[in-house]
Amino acid sequence: MTPEQVDLVLEGIERMRPRLPLVADAFYAELFGRYPQLRPMFPADLARQRAKFADELRALVVALPDLPAFLDSAARLGRRHAGYGVRVAHYNQVRTALIATIAAEMASVWTEEHEHAWTVAYDMITEAMLLNLR
């Protein structure tokens, strides 16, 4: 990621920060709307899952400038996800839903540069999550 892309993603997560629980709700609605087959992988009551998702997303994004800390956090998260039965194909599905959710949340300021920065950030997170699983 370029420093400019990191800045765009950091600015975006801070812009969304007060609404992250609502963004998490929108993300799961988007994910299950697009990929209903993924719903059984999650608990019936998503309240705790939504909070964990919002916290993890923010923590990973904030850690981007500190590569060792970022890689450590992402690797731990990747190991947990492997234990949940998450497969590589699921990461692409989550990317689609997440980028669509963030674009909708940031619609008033969203640009192609934002989309590219968030996509690169997501792909970097995915690679780091999968790094120790190969």
57-98 pLDDT, tens digit each: 999 999 999 999 999 989 888 888 877 778 888 999 999 999
Return the CATH number at 122: 1.10.490.10
Residue 134 has pLDDT above 60, yes or no: no
Domain count across the chain: 1
Residue 109 has pLDDT above 80, yes or no: yes
Structural domain that includes position 58: 3-131
Helix (H, G, I), strand (E, B) or coil at 26: helix
User: Phi and psi for 115 in degrees, rounded to 5?
Assistant: -60, -45
pLDDT digits over 10-68, tens only? Answer: 999 999 999 999 999 999 999 999 999 999 999 999 999 999 999 999 999 999 999 99
Q: Identify the CA nearest to 24 among candidates 101, 93, 123, 91.
A: 101
* Token representation of residue 106: 């940031």
Rounded CA-CA distance 55/119 in Å is: 19
* Token representation of residue 33: 């709307």
